[in-house]
Structure formats: structure tokens, C-alpha cells
Amino acid sequence: MRVLIINTTERQGGPAIAAYRLTEALKNNGIKAKMLVRSKSTEQVTTVLSEHSLSNHLSKLWEKASIMLHTHFRRNRIYSIDFGHSGTDITELPEFKQADVIHLHWINDGMLSLSSVEKIIASGKPIVWTLHDMWPFTGVCHYAHDCDHYTSHCHDCPQLNSRKHRDMAFRIFDRKDLLLQGSRIQFVACSHWLGNMASNSHLLAGRNITCIPNAININLFRPRSRSQAREALGLPQEKRLILFSSHSLTDERKGFHYLKEATKRLAAEHPEWRDKLGIVLIGKDTDSTMYRDIPFEVYQLNYVAEEKRLVDVYNAVNIFAIPSLQDNLPNTIVEAMACGIPCIGFNVGGIPEMIDHLHNGYVAEYKNVHDFAQGIHWLLTEGEYDLLSREASRKAVNTYGESSIAMKYIGIYNRVTGRND
């Protein structure tokens, strides 16, 4: 069976990493899988770079300008919204024509437009679409936050600062509604949380939505020597270290502000920790002004793309903190747990499906800085750390192993192609 996995980038961002790992897992389980992207970062021969003409590039720039205009030039919204106007037609590519199944992942930011998706549907090929955020069933946003308009019909979009009923979100919602009518796309959600949100949406109501988590290479991401990992990264051997990781530390949805406030509370309540605790930061768009008010030593590693180095990072720390305000099924939690690192996060999105409270980590009350700080203290001092670590690793192996995830997708491919009949 030939499967074409489509994602905007090959290795940049959570959905790309998930799609890439799935591609490798499928190949290891007998599937002829290829990945089609608009941005390639490896020499992998089974990753194909889609061609984008000058008009495609201009269309993408125009869409970004349009988003800026609609959001009154709020730069933090430029990546939280997508109009689906820019993209390329892939249906004439040989990889598309040879594929038995077209598997869509995160297709925004100029990879596929809604017109491109319409042509894929019209081709008649079986389609699987893995949801990595809410965009496929909202008007324009990747995460709706407190807005529930997507459950009936998007309008007066708060992320567009709109007070118009028939705004851009309304019009694109109508376009998606028309596009999806009669389509036989098999949707997959990475978390039960996102699956429930999709089922409650107007656009995907009544559809069979399967839940399959992201895969992890458990042979690579596994517990290793902490002292050796710290030596390799130049981190202190004697301190307890907390890791925070985000593709962009300026992304408000990732909740870096809440971690900062939690560290202040920890320092106030446990002043003896000031020289014994450190914060390790991974991410782009950072400078010292972002963390200068953290009362502990900060170790900035910038963005880490190479997986073997990433394994060292996880194994070097004591706990992984993820104060996200809305998230699907973060790869970072899976990676940390696979390395035996207990995690702490808010009770939101798919996070409580991953972290079992007081069993392999700590789930804090949503946006509660005091509880988040208390959770960090519990993980480092009160919980049985070695047991927490073993349970975190055990869950990752049993739930997110590449082979078992690949077999679940192969079952879906067989069903949509009629090979189960």
C-alpha cells in the first residue's frame, strides 16, 4: 500500500514531528509511505518537496497581509489564524497519482488552500485527515479558546477583533461547510479532547472520528544517564532542573508567563532553593528580558531540532513543565515521559489524558499559579521520584510506541480503501 502524508513542514513544529515519525513507523511496518512538504530540512529520500510557483508565494504573502489587516496589525495573531487562501494543487504530482491513500496533517501556512483540498476530494482518492488543532472545523482559528461559535456557525470572530456577523470567519466557515458536504474523509484526532471538540462542531458533527495519539521512537527516547547528559550540555550537576520548551517562547498559548510566576512563588516560599534550582529553556524568539525576573538561574539552549541532542536535554532535567493554556497532545510530554521525566501541566486540552495525576506527574488546576508551584514542589520533594519516573516511561512505551500507532493507522487505511471487505 502507498500512503502520501502531507504536512507543511518536514520537521519544524509539533504536527510535522508527529507526521514525520508516523511516516517512519509506517515504513518500518511494510507501508510504502512518502511525505509531501513545502519546507524540507533533511536529506530523507522519501520526503518530497512540493513545487510552489511565484504566484503561490505572492498569494501566501497577500494572505499574511490580509490577516494583519483583519487583526488590526496584532503580530501575535499571524500564526493563530489561517484563511486557507494560499496553497498549491498537488493532484498532478506523480506521488499523488501513485498513492492509495492521501493522509493530510497540518496543511496551513501556504501548503494547501481550501481549493487544493477541494481538488483532492474531487480526485476520489481515500482521504485520512489527522487533526492537530481546531482549524479544520473552525472558521479561521487554530484554537478557539473560550469561543464556541464553531459549534453552530462562526461569526463575530474574537480573534479577528470582529463585530461583524458576516465577517471573514463566517465566510470561510461557509466555504468549509460546502467543501466537506458529501466528502468521505476519515478524521483522526490525536487526543480525546480534540476528538470531542470536533464531534461537537457543526462542520464535523455526526462523523466517525477515531482517536490515535502521536507516536514516539521508544528506542531513541528512553531513560539515560543524567550526569552524562548534563556534561554533554554543559549544565550543572548539582542542581535540580526544570525544563520549559516551546517552538516560540513568545507564544502566549504556551503559558510561559505562568511558569515565571510559579518560580517567583517557589522562591518566596522556599528561599533555600534559590541556589539549588535552575530553569532550562528551549525555544526561539528569546532574549534575557523574557526571563530576567525569574529568581533562579536560567540556562538557555535555544531551539533544539536534532533528536539525539533532544534526548540529552530531557534526560538532563528533573521535571518537564508545560503550562499551556490550550493544547492537543503535545509531543514534548510524550518525549519527556519516554525518557522517564515526570511532567506538570494544567488541566486543559489533551494534557490530563497524558499525565496521570500523582501517578507519573502532576496536573494543576487551570491557570492556578499556586497549584502549579505546589506541583513542582511535590514532584521534587514529596513524590516518590523514582516511581514517578518509571511510571512515566512505562506509559510512554505502552501508549505511544511507534509500532502500535502505525498498526492503528494501517487498520484505518485498510478500511478506507476497502481492503477489510
The pLDDT value given to residue 195: 97
**Residue 113 has which C-alpha cell?**
488552500
Domain boundaries, the chain: 2-215+402-416, 226-399
Four-residue CA torsion sign, 141, 142, 143, 148: positive
> Residue 184 CB: number of other CB atoms within 10 A?
10
pTM here is 0.90
User: Torsion angle, CA of 167/173/178/181, rounded to 10 degrees?
Assistant: -160
Per-residue confidence (pLDDT) for residue 64, from 0 to 100: 65
Q: For residue range 15-41, what is the model confidence (pLDDT) as tens digits?
A: 999 999 999 999 999 999 999 999 898
What does the block give as the cell for 234?
A: 554543559
Find the helix or strand (DSSP H, E) in which 245 lies.
strand 240-248
pLDDT at site 163: 84
Tell the residue number behind the cell numbers 510552489, with chain if given. Answer: 52
CA dihedral 177, 180, 181, 182 (to 10 degrees): 180
Q: Which residues of 102-117 are buried (b: 16+ CB within 10 A; e: fewer)?
A: bbbbbbbbbbbbbbbb
pLDDT attached to residue 62: 65
Calculate what percentage of the chain has a pLDDT beyond 90: 78
Sheet of strand 127-131: strand arrangement? 47-49, 32-37, 2-6, 101-104, 127-131, 186-189, 209-211
- The CA distance from 367 to 348, in Å, is 9
pLDDT at 75: 58
60 grid coordinates: 501566501
pLDDT tens digits, 74-128: 655 666 889 998 899 999 999 999 999 999 999 999 899 999 999 999 999 999 9
pLDDT above 70 covers what percent of the chain? Answer: 92
Query: Mean of the per-residue pLDDT values for the chain?
Result: 92
- CA–chain centroid gap for 311, Å, is 18
What CATH code is assigned to 226-399? 3.40.50.2000
Distance CA 385, CA 228 (A): 19
pLDDT of the residue at 286:
61
The pLDDT of 287-316, averaged and rounded, is: 88
Q: What is the mean pLDDT of residues 278-287?
A: 81
Return the HEC string of 285-320: CCCHHHCCCCCCEEEECCCCCCHHHHHHHHHHCCEE
Judged against a pLDDT cut of 60, whether residue 73 lies above it is answered with: no
**269-281 burial: b if 16+ Cβ within 10 Å, else e:** ebeebeeebbbbb
Sequence-ordered alpha helix ranges (H) in 241-384: 256-269, 307-316, 331-338, 351-354, 369-377
User: What is the arithmetic mean of pLDDT over 327-336?
Assistant: 94
Per-residue pLDDT, 70: 63
Residue 385 has pLDDT above 80, yes or no: yes
Q: How confident is the model at residue 225 (pLDDT cuts 50, 70, 90)?
A: very high
Examine domains 2-215+402-416 and 226-399 and report if their fold is the same: yes
From residue 396, give the alpha-carbon distance in Å to each of 64, 136, 353: 38, 28, 12
C-alpha cell at 27: 515504513
- pLDDT band for 252, please (50, 70, 90 cuts): confident
CATH assignment, 2-215+402-416: 3.40.50.2000
* Angle (deg, nearest 10), helices 307-316 and 331-338: 70
pLDDT of 68 > 70? The answer is no
For the chain, how far is it from start to end, CA to CA, in angstroms? 16
Q: How far apart are CA 106 and CA 112, in angstroms?
A: 9
